[in-house]
C-alpha cells in the first residue's frame, strides 16, 4: 500500500515527499548534466501544496522553454567575454568581430557587466541605451550595442544558460534618419582646389567620387582605433 505522504515515482519522474526534517521536498529531472548524469532539481517548502507548485512550474519550464542549465553562474561580463572571444570570433568575419568587440568592451560590459545573466531584464537594457545616448553616443552606436547583446544572449538561450532573451523583448533605440544635403558643384571645386595643396589629394578625390567616409577611404578597421588615446 502506498504511503499517502510519499509520492516517489520511478524512472526519473518528478518526486514529492515528506522529509525527516518535517518539510516537503520535490525533485524534478530537467535534463542531463555535462557528465551525462541526470540533472535533478530540488525544492523544499513547508507544505505539500507549496512544493507541488514549484515542481509543476519546473516541469512546465522543462517541457516548454527549458530550464536554465546547471553549472557555471554567469554574469553579463563573463558571458559576453566568453561569447565574443570563444564563440563569435572563430565563426564571423574580421570586420564583424571588430564591431562586436567595440560594443562588448567599450559599452556593454562597462554599462551592464555586473548583472547576473539570468537576472538581466529588458528594462535594464532600455535604460542602458538611453544612458548611452545621454552620455553622447549616437543612436546608431546604441543600436549596434543592442544588436550585439541580442545576438550574444540568443546564443546563451540556445545553450540553456537563459530561458528567455531580454534583448529580444527590449525596445531597440530609435534610429533617426538624417537628411543628407549634397555639396554644390562650386563647393566640390573649392574643396578639390584646397585638397590639391596637400600630399594626400587622392584621399579626398576618391571620397567625393564614391561617397565614402574618410575611414573607409583610409581602409581603417576597428582594431586601428585607440579609444583610450581618443
Q: What is the pLDDT of residue 85?
A: 94
- State the total domains in the chain: 3
Range of the domain at 52: 15-63
Give pLDDT tens digits for 162-192: 989 999 999 988 876 666 677 788 887 887 8
Angle, alpha carbons 38-43-45 (nearest 5°): 160
Contact between 63 and 55 (Cβ < 8 Å):
no
Q: What is the pLDDT of residue 1?
A: 40
C-alpha cell at 146: 543592442
Q: What is the pLDDT of residue 225?
A: 67
Q: Which candidate, 228, 178, 80, places its Cα nearest to that of 89?
A: 80
Q: What is the pLDDT of residue 224?
A: 67
Q: What is the CATH number of the domain that holds 114?
A: 1.10.150.130
Give pLDDT tens digits for 185-229: 888 788 788 888 877 777 777 777 777 776 676 676 666 666 666
Angle, alpha carbons 126-124-105 (nearest 5°): 90
Q: What is the pLDDT of residue 7?
A: 46
Q: Which candidate, 13, 36, 14, places its Cα nearest to that of 25?
A: 14
Given a cut of 50, the residues of the chain with pLDDT beneath it are 1-8
Q: What is the pLDDT of residue 61?
A: 73
Is the residue at 162 inside a domain?
A: yes
For residue 9, give the 3-state DSSP assignment. Answer: coil
Is the residue at 118 inside a domain?
A: yes
For residue 29, give the 3-state DSSP assignment. Answer: strand
Sequence-distant (≥ 6) Cβ neighbours of residue 12 within 8 angstroms: 29, 38
Q: What is the pLDDT of residue 34?
A: 58
Quick one: 34 and 86 in the same domain? Answer: no
Using CA atoms of 128, 132, 135, 138 in order, give the dihedral in degrees to the nearest 10: -160
Amino acid at each position: 500500500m502506498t504511503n499517502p505522504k510519499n509520492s516517489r515515482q520511478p524512472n526519473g519522474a518528478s518526486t514529492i515527499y515528506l522529509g525527516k526534517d518535517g518539510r516537503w521536498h520535490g525533485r524534478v529531472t530537467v535534463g542531463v548534466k555535462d557528465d551525462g548524469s541526470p540533472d535533478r532539481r530540488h525544492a523544499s517548502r513547508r507544505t505539500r501544496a507549496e512544493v507541488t507548485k514549484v515542481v509543476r512550474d519546473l516541469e512546465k519550464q522543462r517541457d516548454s522553454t527549458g530550464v536554465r542549465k546547471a553549472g557555471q553562474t554567469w554574469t553579463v561580463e563573463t558571458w559576453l567575454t566568453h561569447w565574443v572571444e570563444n564563440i563569435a570570433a572563430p565563426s564571423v568575419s574580421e570586420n564583424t568581430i571588430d564591431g562586436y568587440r567595440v560594443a562588448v568592451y567599450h559599452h556593454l560590459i562597462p554599462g551592464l557587466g555586473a548583472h547576473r545573466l539570468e537576472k538581466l531584464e529588458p528594462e535594464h537594457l532600455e535604460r542602458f541605451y538611453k544612458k548611452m545616448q545621454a552620455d553622447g553616443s549616437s543612436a546608431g552606436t546604441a543600436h549596434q550595442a543592442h544588436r550585439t547583446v541580442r545576438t550574444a544572449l540568443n546564443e546563451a538561450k540556445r545553450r540553456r544558460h537563459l530561458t528567455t532573451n531580454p534583448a529580444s523583448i527590449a525596445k531597440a533605440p530609435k534610429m533617426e534618419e538624417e537628411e543628407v544635403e549634397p555639396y554644390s558643384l562650386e563647393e566640390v571645386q573649392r574643396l578639390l582646389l584646397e585638397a590639391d595643396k596637400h600630399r594626400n589629394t587622392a584621399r579626398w578625390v576618391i571620397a567625393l567620387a564614391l561617397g565614402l567616409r574618410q575611414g573607409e577611404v583610409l581602409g581603417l578597421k576597428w582594431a586601428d582605433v585607440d579609444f583610450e588615446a581618443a
